Amino acid sequence: MATARRRTQTAEIVATEASPFEVKRPSLGIRGTGGWTVLTVAVAMLVALPVLVVLSRVFAGSGGVWQHLASTVLPLYVINTLILLVGVGVLAAVIGVSTAWLVTMHRFPGSRVFEWALLLPLAVPAYVMAYVYTDLLDYAGPVQTLLRDLFGWASARDYWFPRIRSIQGAILMLGLVLYPYVYLLARKAFLEQSLCVLEVSRTLGRGPWRSFFGVALPLARPAIAAGLALALMETIADYGTVSFFGVSTFTTGIYRTWFGMGAPVAAAQLAAFMLLFVAALVVLERWSRGKAQYFHTTGRYRILTPRTLAGLKGLGASLACGLPILLGFLLPAAVLLDLAIGGGDPLWGWRFLGFAGNSFLLAAVTAGLAVLLAALMAYGIRLRPTWLTRLSVRLAGLGYAVPGSVVAVGVLIPFAAFDNGLDAIMRETFGISTGLLLTGSIAALVFAYLVRFLAVSYNTVESSLGKISPSMDHASRALGQTARRTLLKVHAPMMRAGLLTAGLLVFVDVMKELPATLIVRPFNFDTLAVRAFRLAADERLAEASTAALTIVAVGVVPVVLLSMAITRSRPGANCAPCAPASVGNFTTNPEPRGRQNNIR
């Protein structure tokens, strides 16, 4: 199971560890709902079609292109992808887990701001980060220019400076953008942990660090692993950063094979091989966990009263939390704003509004359809959770774990076959050409987005629907309402917040999506993401800043709303605090007398 991603993101959305569509809810036992089952299965299988198409091409003939790739560039793709995964995984885990523990269990200068600000890099696409740091750290950038002026160096031969356009630079860019996935789920897990367990650890003589590594971290491991898996999937899916830095990975290889070599079958086979990496991430985490399971034995909570850090400890905690925000959001946003004011896109005006309009149109249409389809599927499973519906939605959930380039290949193959077949029939029968009805319009692009991001919408909608008691369904049906009217008149108003959240998250993810847009978009149809990437690829970073800054600005609002939802996620968070009691270095709020049993 990644925006602003992915991608935003998404405490309840990205926290799902198993299949992103796994639902275990007893049937409501309502008769006459067979149509919902058919609809659920049909929608889910349609969404799963591109992934199944890619897998079906594994053993197809490619005219020797696959053999050529396997003997030349495939080892390089494998090595670079593995290096990226390891580097980004370590960086995202260290930043995400450490900052989540600090802001959840401690109070220090700025901690309240850091709670939501640490999620802000989620709004910045990785390729935008790459453009900004290239402009800052390249040979002609202000940093190296200042160093040469200060020390009198005449050329690059007089000093050494790390190359930003390298695989190490790609790891840094992706790590700064993707650590919020780990932070998001780690903080949610820490908020839900029992204070009693930590207190017992301290009374047994464990210090703060030993309590963290020996108790809190193992309990949060499932959530951390889920966030890390999302970050690694987004790493595999990235195209803009690695392409801009000249790092050859599976995603860049698929794009070159399809468009550079004109070999769609070989590109599909490369995409299928890439899916093995995605599957390996999930299997490896499950295997490492073994049969271990993690439970809390009570649903009663005590209010969290974090430990106060003062002096040097407080300063160190502020620096540890502030540095990722500075490097991952404030500095890139400031540079983009300065470039946009000083130069900006030369097509600013109606042409730029056209790019923005294309992006907003695609994002709005996809978000609306994603929420609608997610509601239909979630309600279908609520009515009849049969093995067929569960299997079909699990297959549909594969799209979120599949890179955009793979989804694009899976969409173009059947859509192009349909267009060509229909055109041939119309030519033979009526002597007219229908052209490219699907692949020549935004229909294929919207469908690719749905395949990629429907899981994001589904999990939010399903979570909201799951909070509604089944008695509401029975009461509605007893009053003569059909299943459709029950969904529209009863459930939809109660799920309004969840539906809005799902739409916002999909909207932001679509705004940032680059690989699928580059491959599937119609001719002469550019979005903000494509505009920014093309200008930056031509070394016109100042001109690319306007489109990049617009994408970042759109992603900020959902990120802030998401942080607010996480803060309220601990049961009992809105209760009035009791008098604190100190245990070791932890400060807790005891329950009133008579309620001391089974309290967290």
Topology given in CATH for the domain delimited by 24-53+343-538: MetI-like fold (1.10.3720)
What pLDDT does residue 172 have? Answer: 94
Q: Are 330 and 321 in contact (CB under 8 A)?
A: no
Task: Confirm whether pTM is higher than 0.85.
Answer: no
Site of tokens 């600005």 = 553
Contacting residues for 61 by C-beta, under 8 A, at least 6 apart: 265
Token duo for residue 278: 């995605």
Q: Are 51 and 407 in contact (CB under 8 A)?
A: yes
Q: Are 253 and 77 in contact (CB under 8 A)?
A: yes
For 581, list phi and psi in degrees, rounded to 5: -130, 135
DSSP class of residue 401 equals G
Domain span(s) for CATH 1.10.3720.10 in the chain: 24-53+343-538, 63-310+553-591
- Strands in 133-175 per DSSP E: none
What pLDDT does residue 154 have? Answer: 83
CA atoms within 13 A on the CB side of 203: 9
What pLDDT does residue 89 have? Answer: 92
What pLDDT does residue 369 have? Answer: 93
Q: Are 1 and 16 in contact (CB under 8 A)?
A: yes
**Cα 184 to chain centroid, rounded:** 11
DSSP class of residue 588 equals E
Q: List average pLDDT for each run of 10 residues in the chain, which is 600 residues long.
A: 40 39 46 70 88 77 76 88 92 93 87 88 86 86 88 84 90 93 82 62 62 71 78 83 88 81 78 73 63 50 68 91 93 87 74 84 91 87 81 79 79 87 85 80 90 82 75 77 78 78 81 84 85 81 83 79 64 45 41 40
Q: Are 541 and 563 in contact (CB under 8 A)?
A: no
For 489, list phi and psi in degrees, rounded to 5: -90, -25
Measured over all CA atoms, what is the biggest interatomic distance in the chain, rounded to whole angstroms? 87
Q: Amino acid identity of 431?
A: G
What is the SS3 assignment for 522? coil
Q: Which CATH class is domain 63-310+553-591?
A: mainly alpha
Q: Amino acid identity of 529?
A: A
Residue ranges of alpha helices (H) inside 431-482 are: 442-466, 470-478
